Structure 1
Amino acid sequence: MNTESSSMQEFLEQIRRDAPDNLVIHNPDSNILQLYELNAPFMILLETCHEKDNFFSIYQITPGNTYSSQSTYSQYKALSKRPLHQHSCYEIMFVLSGSITNHVENQTFTYGPGQCCVMNKNIKHCEIVAGDFQVVFFMIQDVFLEQLLEEYEEVSEHKTEAPGMNPIFQLYLDSLYKTSRFHKVYLDYLPVIPADSILEQLNPLFNFMLEEIRKNSPGSLFFLKGTFARFLQILDTPSLYCMARVQSDSSSQEYIFSKICHIMEASRGRSSREYLEKQLHYNGEYLNRIVKKYTGKTISEYGQDFCLAEAGRLLTKTDMSVSAIITELGYSNRSYFYRIFQNAFNETPLEYRKKHKDTSVS
């Protein structure tokens, strides 16, 4: 047995020996696939890694049970040699700092601060360890989601305008249908505002959940469910996040293009190649080739389509002035905006408004 394998086995043995039986690893010696079975309705797992300090820690908490462990970075890095695994529950991975790479089925993706991945029970995956990061994992059983969904539906019944189904609830509901219960689906959430602003909202929620689940006092589960529902609501807020639903049989380039589409839609086309490169962790030229393959346009040209579509919507659905719309969409050169708008629609903005104005707008 080589040194890396030995370190990995020692670390796993320590966790199996000392940790509560809330998360049981089936087929621990398999080189093909492992199953992680959650024996609690809800678990929070906080992982912190500092490569330079050769430090790694796990903080695992379920109602009534807390477990923490520290090891060296080299021991934890050996876990990247693990086979892919599945969960008996739904897993939400949220990056608090640094970045982490996730091997999902036959593809590999890197997630940065504020980014989130939600996986159903059929997804095979494994985190690849490198560098410095802090990541929180939420592991959720069906019964916990059922309770949240019941309350969600009760609230929706009393609203004049019912909201659309939260994608995470939809992921759970899909698993109940024969036609989709075996589908391998995950949701990727990318922030459309700076990650620091997202974390300012979410860190207090995460800390509150950790404290309530640790205390496990009367009423703790009630507060936990409410706070977790707030977290799901933030993920489902278009001004904060764009979401891509991915079925794992799609090709890598299809997946990346779908992410680009969602980011462009959320930012109204005002996402540069450099911004996409930072968000998606791929070379800008490679991303440009993907967009060119599916649209025949460059990233800049493709983004401009979204921006002009939004300009058309604002002209026909609102009473905003043309100057206000130009400012709203982030253009500093009025003449340039007029030129590209007329090239796209063969009309000036005012002519377009007069011809297509929604008469129901006061």
Structure 2
Amino acid sequence: MTLKALCEQISRSDPNMLQDDNPIGSRIMCPEYSLHQEDIKTYPLQKKDHIFALCWNITSDKRFYGTIKPSPTSFSYGCSFLPGMRTQLHTHEYLELSYIVSGSFRQSILGTDITFEQGDLCLIDKNCLHQDHLDSNSASILFLGIANDVFEDIMSSHATDDRILSFLQSALLKQKNLLQYLHFKPNANSKGEMEECLSSLLKELILHDEASAIICRGLLMRIFRILSTSYDFSLSKELRKEMSWLLYEEITAYIKENYRDISIRELCSQFHFQEDYFNRILKQKAGMTYIEFVQNLRLIEAERLLTHTDFSIERIADLVGYQNKGYFYRLFTKHHQMTPAKFREKHLKPKEHGVRPHS
């Protein structure tokens, strides 16, 4: 069964069809009711269900059909619509990946109308304001709602392009303030592989047994690998700059918090990038490689300890992250053109001698 046939079957053929104006329809397709209000779509499933599918089928006779999989109770929703009807402006508490199974589909994203054609995908971030248009042409759309923790698996797999990784990483940052989406267009011969994966994923969400959660995560990793290798997308210069600075601030904050015992492997594990990514972003923003950045933080702290405590130089070397006293001596002397002892003698004021930090 093709993906189109599968989407149409589950959105229109369920015996428990819910008709116009049923409350559950607002979860599937909420018509615009206000120009000034914004809906926030919460995650509709239990925490153990990390991925869900929302299937839309729009017919040329101005009928809308939709369903959610998995669902505790199997159902379909149907209603009539007027051409030009829009959903209410909304954001999600999860990331949404949409695929145009057939026809074309129009969305307003951040105030800009975008028409997606068959085979296109769109990845929309959590706080990205958008609304959907119901036009008179027929179309089938598959929306995937993806919980945040799933992206840990995707990022740690290193199966995706660095630009997609940057998008996903910035989407998960605590100080989230970046509005963003990615529009993917297929290369030649990429449609078949993507539809095969999406069909398998949708079938697992319909089956929804004990193994489905693991299988769905694996299929989602494969979908993002295909996006990285067989689809075209680009980031605007402004978006690249915003994402780059956001990640730089997060990465450097983490390094500053953990510089005494940090390693490049720990950074890779924390942020899910390859080692060379950290060198690139630190060189671009701070003018230093990763090693130079960490060394600079350690030397700054060593200077403070030399001039504000009477700790031995060996202990100071250990406190700032150097177990090898000789290596610390060479590094400090090269940087300051004097030994740590000479530096202390030159900068330590008499009244400060013997003062220790409060911590």
TM-score band, normalised by shorter chain: 0.5 to 0.7
> Match for 2:213: what amino acid?
L
Where does residue 91 of structure 1 map in the other structure? 96
Where does residue 146 of structure 2 map in the other structure? 140
Where does residue 297 of structure 2 map in the other structure? none
Instruction: Evaluate the alpha carbon distance shift between residue 93 and residue 25 of structure 1 in structure 2; reply closer, same or farther with a 3 A threshold.
Output: closer
> Match for 2:151: what amino acid?
L
Structure 1 gap ranges (5+) = 1-9, 157-162, 251-362
- Identify the match of residue 191 of structure 2 among 166, 179, 199: 199
- Identify the match of residue 208 of structure 1 among 200, 212, 229: 200
For residues 17 and 175 of structure 1, what CA distance do their matches in structure 2 show? Answer: 28
Q: Is the 8 A contact 1:184 1:247 kept in 2?
A: no
Where does residue 79 of structure 2 map in the other structure? 71
Instruction: Evaluate the alpha carbon distance shift between residue 118 and residue 25 of structure 1 in structure 2; reply closer, same or farther with a 3 A threshold.
Output: same
Where does residue 7 of structure 1 map in the other structure? none
Q: Is the 8 A contact 1:96 1:199 kept in 2?
A: no
**Deviation for aligned residue 1:12:** 7.5
Instruction: Evaluate the alpha carbon distance shift between residue 64 and residue 231 of structure 1 in structure 2; reply closer, same or farther with a 3 A threshold.
Output: farther
Q: Is the 8 A contact 1:38 1:88 kept in 2?
A: yes
For residues 90 and 17 of structure 1, what CA distance do their matches in structure 2 show? Answer: 21
Where does residue 217 of structure 1 map in the other structure? 209
Where does residue 243 of structure 1 map in the other structure? 233
**Deviation for aligned residue 1:64:** 5.0
Where does residue 131 of structure 2 map in the other structure? 126
Question: What are the residue-to-residue correspondences of 1:299-314 with 2, within 5 Å?
Answer: none
Matched, 1:100 2:105: yes
Matched, 1:174 2:157: no
**Deviation for aligned residue 1:247:** 8.1
Structure 2 gap ranges (5+) = 1-17, 241-359
**Deviation for aligned residue 1:215:** 1.5
TM-score w.r.t. length of structure 1: 0.53
SS in 1 for 2:77: strand
Q: Is the 8 A contact 1:186 1:247 kept in 2?
A: no
Matched, 1:229 2:221: yes
Instruction: Evaluate the alpha carbon distance shift between residue 144 and residue 12 of structure 1 in structure 2; reply closer, same or farther with a 3 A threshold.
Output: farther
For residues 29 and 67 of structure 2, what CA distance do their matches in structure 1 show? Answer: 17
> Match for 1:113: what amino acid?
Q
Where does residue 42 of structure 1 map in the other structure? 51
> Match for 2:167: what amino acid?
L
> Match for 1:62: what amino acid?
P
Q: Is the 8 A contact 2:182 2:235 kept in 1?
A: yes
> Match for 1:208: what amino acid?
S
For residues 244 and 93 of structure 1, what CA distance do their matches in structure 2 show? Answer: 17
Q: Is the 8 A contact 1:25 1:37 kept in 2?
A: no
Where does residue 115 of structure 1 map in the other structure? 120
Where does residue 160 of structure 1 map in the other structure? none
TM-score w.r.t. length of structure 2: 0.53
For residues 229 and 79 of structure 1, what CA distance do their matches in structure 2 show? Answer: 35
**Deviation for aligned residue 1:47:** 0.7
1:153-178 per-residue CA deviation (whole Å, 9 max, x = no partner) reads xxx5xxxxxx6645444322113446
For residues 224 and 110 of structure 1, what CA distance do their matches in structure 2 show? Answer: 28
Q: Is the 8 A contact 1:24 1:36 kept in 2?
A: no
Instruction: Evaluate the alpha carbon distance shift between residue 176 and residue 220 of structure 1 in structure 2; reply closer, same or farther with a 3 A threshold.
Output: closer
Identity of counterpart residues, as a percentage? 17
1:229-269 per-residue CA deviation (whole Å, 9 max, x = no partner) reads 111111111xx21112258889xxxxxxxxxxxxxxxxxxx
Q: Is the 8 A contact 2:91 2:128 kept in 1?
A: yes
